[in-house]
Structure 1
């Protein structure tokens, strides 16, 4: 490994903006905002949009916005009726 080309890792607190969930991890990111952690030390705070606490894959709360497929949406948009569909 070459010396002097890799960034320095340091402890950082990441906070989920949606849920407020916080976790301490090593990172190369820095921030002007700080937070006091459970161990009494102060660490930089990085706000993130989504974490395992709010991501639908991990929480099991997935949103299904589209019930029909692309072909059905196309046919509905352009007024094409399916002659084989049961009425």
Structure 2
């Protein structure tokens, strides 16, 4: 690697909109994020599956005959 062309990599603080502060390594001084693992619905278990326009039912109806033939 060439000397003197890379930015300094150091520990910095990342602040989430929910208020959680954690340390990460970065070339930036302070990082502000909108969502983190403490408030993201996937990690908190509050994730909702929304079926708009019955897509799951249409899929199951369309491929039901393939499932029936595979069971035999």
Q: Same fold (TM over 0.5)?
A: yes
Q: Secondary structure at the match of 1:58?
A: helix
Gap regions ≥5 residues in structure 1:
31-44, 73-87
Q: Which has the higher contact order (CA 8 A, sep 6+)?
A: 1
Which has a greater percent of helix? Answer: 2
Q: CA RMSD, aligned part only?
A: 2.3
Aligned residues: 57
Gaps of 5+ in 2: 59-72
Give every structure 1 segment of 4 or more consecutive aligned residues whose post-TM-superposition deviation is greater than 4 Å: none
| Counterparts of 1:57 and 1:71, CA distance in 2 | 24
